[in-house]
Structure 1
Amino acid sequence: MARNEEKAQSMLNRFIAMKQEEKRKPKERRPYLASECRDLAEAHRWRSEILREIGVKVAEIQNEGLGEHRLRDLNDEINKLLRERVHWERRIVELGGPNYTKNSAKMTDLEGNIVDVPNPSGRGPGYRYFGAAKKLPGVRELFEKPPEVKKRRSRYDIYKRIDASYYGYRDDEDGILEKLEGPAEAEVRENAVAEWRRMEQIRREARKAVKSGEVATVGTAASAAEILFEEVEDVVEEERRMEREREERERSKEEFVVHVPLPDEKEIERMVVEKKKMELLSKYTSDMLLEEQAEAKAMLNVQR
């Protein structure tokens, strides 16, 4: 009895499920072209469906044990869905909806750094890799940065970076050198002033001792002798300099020796007059007359 009731209940359950299935609308297929959709709400629904499918496949592709062929197929399917999502997002903008492309996700490498989308051969621009597909043979190299080759600088590149700072012309502009040299300069100046005052004091005492005829102390006498010796040396050096200048002036005044005969003033005047005469004759006489005049001078043995 219980067995029959269970059968009837089972048949009733199947009948109820069948009726409910008949009442449901047939499952709609996503339009092949996004341009065929005319409703903004429908476009949002199809975009959401594509995002769910992408999420499922991205979660599945994280498993490295699926095998190389399955990982490559999953990666191709995800890229196909991504292209389809772009078409639907563009259609949403055309229907007056929001622009989702502004906040699109960036592609990252194995370390999580944002990289440019690689373009391997045969895949076209914008092809992306996800999950374990990034570790496949031939794909890992796409995300590895080539080693930087350090280029040797040429002489032109070296000299191009040399400016006034390289030669130390701008060391005073930063203020560091001034801070370091300021105390040393002040100390040297104070020592020089103190030494000058001490020497002036010794000179005054030495002059007073010489005028009064008094005997100075040992230290003062030695200092005075040193100062007087320096003054005598200065005088002798000045006299030597004046003697050299006088010798140079006398040497410059010596007569210049002429090794070739030079014409005197009368000879120069005669040559100038002769030249002017020839210019006048050539201006107012013909060539034939000049030749006759030259022949007559030759016959008369006239030199001028």
Structure 2
Amino acid sequence: MARNEEKAQSMLNRYITLKAEEKKKPKERRPFLASECRDLAEADKWRQQIMREIGRKVAEIQNEGLGEHRLRDLNDEINKLIREKSHWERRIVELGGPNYAKHSAKMTDLEGNIVDVPNPSGRGPGYRYFGAAKKLPGVRELFEKPPELRKRRTRYDIYKRIDASYYGYRDDEDGVLEKVEGPAQENMRTAKVKEWKRMEEIRQEARRGAKEVVTVGGAGAEVLIEGEEDVVEEERRMQKEKEETERKEREFVVHVPLPDEKEIEKMIVEKKKMELLQKYASEELREEQSEAKAMLNIQR
């Protein structure tokens, strides 16, 4: 019994729905060509409808889990709707309406920066990527900025920037060096003067203490020694080195008679002769030559 009541209720609901649809006006379809529309209000209505469809699809394309193929299809559909929207916007302008294209959105990269190039992908004029489609393989590279290559400077570029200032010829023109060198020069001069006065006092004390009377052979002779200690020490060292050199020269004694140039030349000739004989003469010839020298009492 309950089953029959459910069936009847279902049939009633269908009947009521069909009657309500008959009372409604037939559903209007958007014209395929924007040029077919002659009413400004209708053109604006169709543009608003396209905008709502674009909004739904842009919200759907944000989901990265849809898969690569679905994301690419959604991106193509959004671009198709955007082109259709541009047709209706031009038609609205032709019918005397506002120009909506002035405030159209710009293309941005993954970081939200506006991309200056209107068509970075090469898929037709004005093709854009939305949401997760920007992270697809082959698309991410389109929005990445190429690394800046630092051009290596040539030797010509380096020398082109070298002028007189590089060598310090213009350091005195700005007056900065003069302000710095003035006090430094005065301090150095004061220090040098103090050092000179101190050394002069030491020399005067040395001169006063070095004066003495030396008596030689009963006759008095006053000898004034005025040299500084370092000068005296240097002279003593040079005199000592000179005496040492002379002593070594005197001690050198030749115990063996040294040959002169003629004897050395004769010895070299004899040595060369013996080398040639050993190289080209036979053993018998050398023995006969030795016996002959022994019989003639020749020492060489």
TM-score category by the smaller chain? 0.5 to 0.7
Per the TM alignment, residue 158 of structure 1 is displaced from its structure 2 partner at its CA by: 4.3
Name the structure 2 match of 1:39: 39
5 Å-filtered alignment, 1:97-246, equals: 97-115=97-115, 116-121=117-122, 123-158=123-158, 177=175, 181=178
User: Does the residue aligned with 2:50 lie in a helix, a strand or coil?
Assistant: helix
Cα distance in structure 2, aligned partners of 1:30 and 1:119: 31
What code does the residue aligned with 2:58 have? V
Q: What's the % identity of the aligned pairs? A: 80
Provide the C-alpha distance between the structure 1 equivalents of 2:49 and 2:96, rounded to a whole number of angstroms.
20
Shift of 1:163: 7.1
Per-residue CA deviations over 1:3-23 (Å, capped at 9, x if unaligned) read 777665554443332111011
- 1:137 is matched by which residue type in structure 2? P
Structure 1 unaligned residues grouped into runs of 5+:
190-304
The one-letter code sitting in structure 2 at the alignment partner of 1:120 is: S
* Distance 1:94-1:134 versus aligned 2 partners, 3 A rule: same
Partners of 2:170 and 2:95 in 1: CA distance: 65
- Tell me if structure 2 keeps the 8 A contact 1:44–1:92: yes
Q: What is the one-letter code of the residue matched to 1:147?
A: P
Runs of 5+ unmatched residues, structure 2? 187-300
SS, match of residue 113 in structure 2: coil
Are positions 1:19 and 2:23 aligned together? Answer: no
Q: Amino acid of the residue matched to residue 92 of structure 2?
A: I
Distance 2:72 2:64 in 1: 11
> So what's the TM-score if we normalise by structure 1?
0.52
Distance 1:188 1:170, change over 3 A: closer
Q: Compared with structure 1, are the counterparts of its residues 75 and 170 closer, same or farther at alpha carbon in structure 2 (3 Å cutoff)?
A: farther
Contact 2:172 2:178 in 1 (8 A): no
* Cα distance, 1:118 vs structure 2: 3.7
| Secondary structure class of the residue paired with 1:20 | helix
Calculate the aligned-residue CA RMSD, in Å.
3.6
Count of residue pairs brought into register by the alignment: 193
Equivalent residue number for residue 54 of structure 1: 54
Partner Cα distance (2:99, 2:167) in 1: 58
Q: Distance in 1 between matches of 2:118 and 2:6?
A: 61
CA distance in 2, matches of 1:48, 1:81: 12
Cα gap change, 1:119 to 1:8, in 2 (>3 Å): same
Greater helix proportion: 1
CA positional deviation for 1:102: 1.2
TM-score of the two chains, using structure 2 as the length reference:
0.53
CA pair 168-136 structure 1, distance change in 2 beyond 3 A:
same
> CA 1:163–1:10 in structure 2 vs 1: closer, same or farther (change >3 Å)?
same
1: CA distance between counterparts of 2:39 and 2:169? 74
- Contact 1:57-1:74 at 8 Å conserved across structures: yes
Partners of 2:184 and 2:170 in 1: how far apart?
A: 25
Q: How far apart, in 1, do the equivalents of 2:92 and 2:11 lie?
A: 47
Q: Are the structure 2 counterparts of residues 98 and 156 from structure 1 closer, same or farther at C-alpha, using a change threshold of 3 Å?
A: farther
